[in-house]
Structure 1
Amino acid sequence: MPKFLDFLAIAEFSQVVLLIFILFVMDKNRKANIFFAAFLFITSSNFFILYLHKLDNQIPTYILASFAIPGISILGALIYQYVLFIAGLLEKFELKHLLKYIIFFVSLGIFIIAAQYFNWTYFEIPQFRIIVLIIISAGFLNSIIYIIYTIVLLKRYHNKIENYYSDLEKMSLNWLMKITSFSFLALILWCIEFLSSQLWINAKNSMIFAMNMIMQIIIFITAYHLINQPEIFRKNIEIGQAVEGPDNSSESEKYSRQNIDEKMQDEYLEKLIRYMNDNKPYLEESITIKDLAEKVQIPAHHLSIVINSRLNKNFYTFINEYRIKEATAILDDPENSDVSIITIVFRTGFNSKSTFNSVFKKITGQTPSKYRDRINLRSKLVS
C-alpha cells in the first residue's frame, strides 16, 4: 500500500501540473483559471509532500510544505472565488478580497519562520505546537465554511439558469458541484487526519488512500470537462444578477412585488399556450425566455411569473416538456419507425443526445429506445 500511495502522489502531482499548463495556455478567462489552478496545485501538493518526505530531501519538502500546508486554509475560498468569476458575479479581484486569505498569510508566516529557525522541530515545542494547531484548525474550518457556501451558490445558480435557458449544456456547472462536494469530503478526512497526527495517532493508510482517490476523481472530472466543456474555462457565463437574486422559496413574497394581477396572468397564459401550439418555438435549440418573450410579446419577467406561478415550472422544464411531447408524437407514428433517435434529437430542439435521453427518461419514465420498443411491440400485437 505505501508504494502504491507514493505512485498516486507522483501521478496526481504530474497530472495537476499538466492541467494547470492547459488552463494557462487558454488565452481567455485567465483570472478565473488562476484560482482553480491554485486550488488544484495546493490539493495535490499536500499529497506530494508525503512522498518527498520519505526521500529525506528536506529543502524541496520544506519549501513546498511551507506553501501547501497553510494553503489548505484557502482551498474553500479559492473554489468560491472561481465560481464567482465564471458565474459572472465577479469581474476583477480587489484588495478587499484578500480578507478571505488572512489565515493563509498568518500560517504561511509561521511555517516559514519554523522552517528557518527551528528546522521543522517546532512541533516538539509545546507552546509553538499549540499555536500551529489552532491556526491550521482554523484554516480547515475556514475552507469547510467556504466550501459549504460554494455549494449553496452553485445550487442557486442552477435554479436561476433553469428559469432563463432551455439548453443548459454549455453553462451547467454540475461538474463543479461534484468537485466541490468531493473537496468537502476530502477536507473532512484531511481534518481528521491532521488532528489525529497532532494527538500522536498515525493516520491509517486507508484514510490516505481514500483522500488520494478523491483527488483522482477531481482530476478526472476537471480533465473530462476541459475536453467536453472548454467554453467554461475560456469565458465567464453572463448571467450575473440572475444568480444573485432571491431563491424560489416563497412564491407569494416573490411575486407580490410584481405589478401583474391574476387576470393578466391568465390572459398571458392563454396567449402563451396558443403561441406554443401554433408556432412551436421550442424547436429552436437555444431559445431563451427573452427570445420567447419577444416572440409572444409578453415582458420577460411577466412571462417568468406566469410559467412559475401558473404552471409551477421553470422555463427549462416548460420548454423541454413540449420537446418531449413532440418526440413521443414522432415515435408514436408508425411511419417514423425508420427515423433514428439522433434525428429525433435535433428535430425536437435538443442539441445533445445525452440531454435528450436524460430529459426523456425524467418525463416519461423510460429511455427513448425502450419507449420505441414498446410502441413497436404494441403495433405488432394490434396487427
Structure 2
Amino acid sequence: MMAEFARYADITIAAVGLVQGLFLCFLLRAEGVRAFAANRWMMLFLGAVMLNLFNDVTKRMLPAEAEEMIVLFFFPANFVIVPAIYLYFREISGTPSTRPWIHFVLVGVIFNVIAWLLSFEADGPNAPSRDVMLSFVIRRVCWFTFFAQSAFYIVLLWNVSQRYFHQTQEQLGADRNAMRRWIIVILGGVSLIFVTVLLSWIASRYLPQDLAMSGAGLAFVLVLFAMTYVIATQPVLFVMADWPGEGEVIDIPDSVDAKGPPAAGPINSGYGEVSQPDIPSFPRPLLDEDGAAIICRRLDDIRKRGDLLFDPLISMPKLARAVGVSPNQLSYVLNHHIGQKFFNYVNSARVEEARAVLIAEPDRTILDVALSVGFNSKSTFNLAFKTLTGETPSAVRDSARHVSDTTDPPPEQQSDDQTRVLISLGPTC
C-alpha cells in the first residue's frame, strides 16, 4: 500500500515539477538575448533537474527491463546540476569561464562507465560473484563521485556568489534585500537538493529505493517554485565584466589633452556612433567643476537618445564607457552633481520615457511599456513609477484615455504637455 502511494505521489510531484521547470525556462527566455549568456547555464541546470523528474515518471511506466537504460541516460545528468549553477554565477559576476566544457567532463566519464557496466552485467544472475562485487563497487564509486563533486562546487558557489553580491551593490546600486533573496534561493536550493539526495540515498540502504528517493523529487519541485516566484517578482540583475580599475580612464580617439580642448568627432560606444562633445580625459577619479559639467552634458545627450539606458543589462561600466570616463568618475558626478545613485538615475530615465509612451499610446499594455524601457517585471516597474511620479502607471494610462475620449487638443499642445512631463522627471546638473 505504501509503495503504491509513493508511486502515485512521485508521478504527481514529477509532473508538477516538469510544468514548473518549463514555465521557469520561458521566464528566463523572456529576459531577452542580452541575458542569454548567463541564462543558458540556468536553463542547463533546469534541464538536468527536469531530466531527474522525467526519470521519476518513466521508471514507473516502463518495464523493469528498461530500468538500466534509464539509468544510463538519466544518472549522468546529476553531474550537470551544480556546475551549471556555478557557471551561471561566474557569468553574472563578470568572470565567465573561458573553458566551460571542463566542468562537464565528468558527465562523459560517468556515461561511459555506466555503459561499460551495463555490458559487463549482461550475464545477469549467472554472473560470477566477483563480477557482482565489482559492479556494486563501481556503482558506489559513481555515487560518491557525485556527492564529492557537488560538495566541491557548492563551496565554490558560495565564494563566487559573494563576489557577485558585492559587485552588484557597487555597480548597480541594487536593492540589497532583493539580491540577498535571489542568492539565498539559488544557493539554498542547490544545498537542499544536495542534502535531500544524500539523505535519500542513505535511506535507500534501509528502505525500498522508490520510497526513499521520493524526497529528492519533492526537493526539486520546491526549489523550482521558489526560483519562479523570485524571478517573477524581482528583476534578475546582471553585472558585466568590464569595470576598469581604480582611477583608470577609457581612452578617447584623437588623443585629448587633459587641460586643452578635445578633438571633435564620433566615438563608438558599443551602441552605434555617438556624437562626441568636448570631453577631456581626467587623470583623477574626482573631477573639477568643468570636468563634471562636460560629463553632465554627455549624460544628457545619452539620456535623450534613450537606447542605452533602456538596455535591461545596463551597468555602471557600460554607461561609463559610453560617456568616455571611468566608472569612478561617473559615480562621482551622479552622486555629487546630479544627486542620484546610478540605479535611480537609470530608473528615472526609464520612467520618463514610459510616462510619455503611456500618454501617447494609452492602448498599449503596461507590461509592454515596462519591457520596452528596460524593466524586467511589471511589479518593479510599478514600484519605480509610483516612487518617482507619485502616480501608478494605470492611473496615468486611464487619465490619458479619458482625455483622448473627451477632447483632442492640438498636436502642438500635446507635445508641449509631454515636454513638461519629461522635464519634470529628468534630473539635471
TM-score exceeds 0.5:
yes
| 1:33-73 C-alpha deviation (Å, 9 max, x unpaired) | 65444322322222333343334524554333213222212
User: Given the alignment, which residue of 70, 73, 90 partners 1:64?
Assistant: 70
Distance 1:130 1:201 in 2: 20
Does 2:215 align with 1:207? Answer: yes
Distance 1:123 1:26 in 2: 54
Task: Tell me the equivalent position of 1:185.
Answer: 192
Classify 1:291/1:78 alpha carbon distance in 2 versus 1 (closer, same or farther; 3 Å).
Answer: closer
Classify 1:22/1:291 alpha carbon distance in 2 versus 1 (closer, same or farther; 3 Å).
Answer: closer
Classify 1:51/1:148 alpha carbon distance in 2 versus 1 (closer, same or farther; 3 Å).
Answer: same
User: Given the alignment, which residue of 109, 112, 119 partners 2:112?
Assistant: 109
Distance 2:88 2:44 in 1: 10
Deviation at 1:219, TM superposition (A): 7.1
| 1:317-358 C-alpha deviation (Å, 9 max, x unpaired) | 79889x9xxxxxxxxxxxxxxxxxx9xxx9xx9967744786
Distance 1:22 1:292 in 2: 27
Task: Tell me the equivalent position of 1:6.
Answer: 11
Q: Which amino acid aligns with 1:185?
A: L
When normalised by structure 1's length, the TM-score is 0.55
| 1:233-253 C-alpha deviation (Å, 9 max, x unpaired) | xxx9681233xx8xxxxxxxx
Deviation at 1:221, TM superposition (A): 4.8
Task: Tell me the equivalent position of 1:337.
Answer: none
Task: Tell me the equivalent position of 2:329.
Answer: 303
Kindly, what percent of the aligned residue pairs are identical? 15
Contact 1:13 1:48 in 2 (8 A): yes
CA RMSD of the aligned region, Å? Answer: 6.0
Task: Tell me the equivalent position of 2:404.
Answer: none
Does 2:133 align with 1:126? Answer: yes
Task: Tell me the equivalent position of 1:239.
Answer: 240
Does 2:378 align with 1:316? Answer: no
| 1:61-110 C-alpha deviation (Å, 9 max, x unpaired) | 43332132222122111222344456664497x4xx33322332232222
Task: Tell me the equivalent position of 1:99.
Answer: 102
Distance 1:188 1:292 in 2: 42
Deviation at 1:32, TM superposition (A): 5.8
Q: Which amino acid aligns with 2:15?
A: I
Structure 2 unaligned regions, length at least 5: 250-281, 298-302, 351-365, 393-429
The residue correspondences of 1:362-381 to structure 2 (distance < 5 A) are: none
Task: Tell me the equivalent position of 2:55.
Answer: 49
User: Given the alignment, which residue of 156, 166, 170 partners 1:149?
Assistant: 156
Task: Tell me the equivalent position of 1:336.
Answer: none
Deviation at 1:200, TM superposition (A): 6.0
When normalised by structure 2's length, the TM-score is 0.51
Deviation at 1:112, TM superposition (A): 1.6
- Tell me the number of residue pairs that the alignment of Structure 1 and Structure 2 aligns: 319
Classify 1:183/1:302 alpha carbon distance in 2 versus 1 (closer, same or farther; 3 Å).
Answer: closer
Q: Which amino acid aligns with 1:241?
A: D
Distance 2:341 2:10 in 1: 46
Distance 2:130 2:10 in 1: 25
Classify 1:314/1:186 alpha carbon distance in 2 versus 1 (closer, same or farther; 3 Å).
Answer: farther
Distance 1:72 1:158 in 2: 27
Classify 1:160/1:62 alpha carbon distance in 2 versus 1 (closer, same or farther; 3 Å).
Answer: same
| 1:172-201 C-alpha deviation (Å, 9 max, x unpaired) | 897576344312211221122123324667
Classify 1:358/1:260 alpha carbon distance in 2 versus 1 (closer, same or farther; 3 Å).
Answer: farther
Deviation at 1:217, TM superposition (A): 1.3
Distance 1:316 1:49 in 2: 44
The residue correspondences of 1:219-368 to structure 2 (distance < 5 A) are: 220-221=228-229, 224=232, 239-242=240-243, 289=316, 299-303=325-329, 306=332, 315-316=342-343, 354-355=379-380
Deviation at 1:167, TM superposition (A): 7.8
Contact 1:133 1:198 in 2 (8 A): no
